[in-house]
A and B are shown apart, each in its own frame.
Chain A
Amino acid sequence: MTGLRTALAVAGKEMRLALSYRLSFAMGVAGSFLGAAMFYFLARLVDPGASSPLAMYGGDYFSFVIIGIAFQSYLGLSMDTMASSLRREQLLGTLESVAATGTPLPVFAAGGAMWQFVFASYRVVVYLLFGWLFFGLSLSAANLPASLLVLLLSVAAFAGVGVVSGSFILVFKQGDPVRWLYGGAATLLGGVYFPVQMLPDWLRPLSVVFPITHALEAMRKTVLLGAGPGEVSMQLLILAGFTAVSIPAGALAFKWALRRIRVDGTLGSH
């Protein structure tokens, strides 16, 4: 209960800080509209019949890419939010004072994540709303309970990776290889902008090591084709496996990192 109250207090602080930069907030919303518009016009170049990999997701590139982008913002966030939250406190100069209060840093970072998820949900809704209102996006076939299950399991799998990433940031401050690998390479190989079936044969096997590949496939099937949990059971199983490995790995990495910076005295350094 105390942990939840603390996390809510951090989320409230994050919201107030974000809203204190009003122009940036408004530009974020406008950016969602511009992104949706850009992919709508790009989608008109893609002939549905010409792309067989796209056919297995309903054949419409705009729907395919909008789900990819919207969902990637969630997954990217669950991976990035802990590192970015701790990094921001390091740069502001407040991290050592937070630690001095006895607040567990994972609880503090979780509070930051709460606000980030609220804001990301808002952006996803804006994306989907613009897509539906202006660009003909149809979500009538969506299986919402199954989509929610995929979302929760994917967020859990990515959160473990995010804690490992946060541990790197605590110790090395910048240059996080986990973020580079899962943020950069996964965008290319995970099927955000195009189906992974379009990758060359020699590169395609690499895509299966990224949880985003399985998460996106399951999400597109549940949202665009109305698939139920049974039809995406393989992807759910893989995501559960990633979660079982990434969460304990994250906990161990964070414990090591916290001890290391307390010995080095670099908790407040950036």
Chain B
Amino acid sequence: MTTADPGVAGSCLSLQGVEKHFAPRRSLLEIAHIRTPERLEVIDGVDLQVEAGAIVCLMGPNGSGKTTLLRLAAGVLLPDAGRVSVLGRDPAASAPARYSIGFLSSSERSFYWRLTAGRNLRFWGSLQGLHGRRLDRAVEEAASLAECREVLDRRFENISTGMRQRVGLARAVLHGPSLLLLDEPTRSMDAEAAESFYTVIRRLAGRGTAVLMSTHSASEAARLGRRTVRIEDGALREVHPDRIGGVELAIDFEGEAEAPPPAGMSLSRGRLLCPSDRLAAAVSWLEDAGLRILGVAGAKGTDDGS
């Protein structure tokens, strides 16, 4: 099990020892228990706490489990083991816990394309328990905050991809959630739109909203995330602020590491991750620990070239 945060009582979002595996489509032999089905490991014992007002960026290569982690936090996916809680309640079992979440899916298809953006927001707001004048006001405020008021009367199918993302953000904040889960929210935005999006996120965090946001962009994480975590091979680890966007090395070794690694470095299944400028210190630590070095490579996905 890896720990991205030691855990804080009263966290807005808390994941403790969460595991999730997916089984590929099973054959008849596997269904009949004649052959053991293959398990696709996605998340393997993850701990994460996100406090009110925090912005945590979640990074990791494609298929590493970022979206799975967000879906677990949103309560639409059940963990195989471990505990997920939002404001102390299991979001999969508690409607109030889910009402306190704003979830921005990475899929544009999560809207009704034949309806206007405004009609969509009104509909999704009513599912969140908003009605009448409260709903009118919430739509107005959310659209202003997400800067998408000018498209409220246009059919969703007729607005640009970047603007759809803004409408998605408006939907996520419509009911004033305590926790925002954002799945690659800026992927279709130009630099200017992304910048105004960062401003909105910072403003929401300033009001006490906890934000967990997945991104592929190290520069985005460096600019926005007061905290960045990285998921890879099912494990979650904290990324030191100075290392986001920098070059990181992965040193594969043989043997069991008994002592914790030096500050700024982390261990993950026979692999020591360290900043490139501290390679000598890392090698020295491995040799002192009696561990055999197998090879050194650049760690994936810590910079996006921007």
Contact = CB atoms under 8 A, between A and B. Distances in A.
B112 interface: yes
B131 A94 contact: no
A265 B127 contact: no
Interface string B86-111: 00000010011111010101010111
Contacts of B128: 101-102
Instruction: Report which residue of A2, A102, A262 has the largest number of chain B beta carbons within 10 angstroms of its beta carbon.
Output: A102
A267 interface: yes
A61 B132 CA distance: 51
Interface residues of A, number: 30
B124 interface: yes
B22 A264 contact: yes
Q: Which secondary structure dominates chain B's binding surface? A: mixed
A209 interface: no
B100 to A, nearest CB: 9
A263 interface: yes
Interface string B65-85: 000100100111110100000
A139 interface: no
Nearest to B74: A100
Nearest to B174: A101
Contacts of A100: 74-76, 98, 101, 103, 105
Contact of A102 (B80, B95, B111): B95
Interface in B8-64: 20, 22-23
A158 B73 CA distance: 37
B68 A265 contact: yes
A16 B114 CA distance: 9
B105 to A, nearest CB: 6
Contacts of A263: 78, 80
A10 B295 CA distance: 58
B99 A102 contact: yes
A154 to B, nearest CB: 30
Contacts of A101: 98-99, 124, 127-128
Contact of B127 (A9, A17, A96, A268): A9
B126 A20 contact: no
B98 A16 contact: no
B227 interface: no
Contacts of A262: 76-78, 92
Instruction: Report which residue of B22, B109, B110, B124 has the largest number of chain A beta carbons within 10 angstroms of its beta carbon.
Output: B110
B260 interface: no
Contacts of A2: 129
Contact of A9 (B76, B110, B123): B123
B4 interface: no
B76 A99 contact: yes
Contacts of B95: 102, 104
B115 interface: yes
Contacts of A21: 114
Nearest to A13: B123
A174 to B, nearest CB: 14
A63 to B, nearest CB: 39
Interface in A70-127: 92-94, 96-104, 108
Given A92-B109, A100-B75, A20 B127 contact: no
Contacts of A259: 78
A5 interface: yes
Contacts of A97: 103, 105, 110, 124
Nearest to B20: A265
B114 A20 contact: yes
A143 interface: no
A6 interface: yes
B127 A16 contact: no
B242 to A, nearest CB: 35
A17 B110 CA distance: 15
Interface string A4-23: 01100100110011001100
Given A93-B107, A102-B95, A5 B131 contact: yes
28 contacts: A2-B129, A5-B131, A6-B129, A12-B123, A13-B112, A16-B114, A16-B115, A94-B112, A97-B103, A97-B110, A97-B124, A100-B98, A100-B101, A100-B103, A100-B105, A101-B99, A101-B124, A102-B98, A102-B128, A103-B127, A262-B76, A262-B92, A263-B78, A263-B80, A264-B22, A265-B22, A265-B68, A268-B107
The 3 A-B residue pairs with the shortest CB-CB distance in the complex, in nearest-first order = A93-B109, A102-B98, A9-B126
Given A17-B115, A100-B101, 6 more contacts: A9-B126, A93-B109, A96-B71, A97-B124, A101-B124, A102-B99
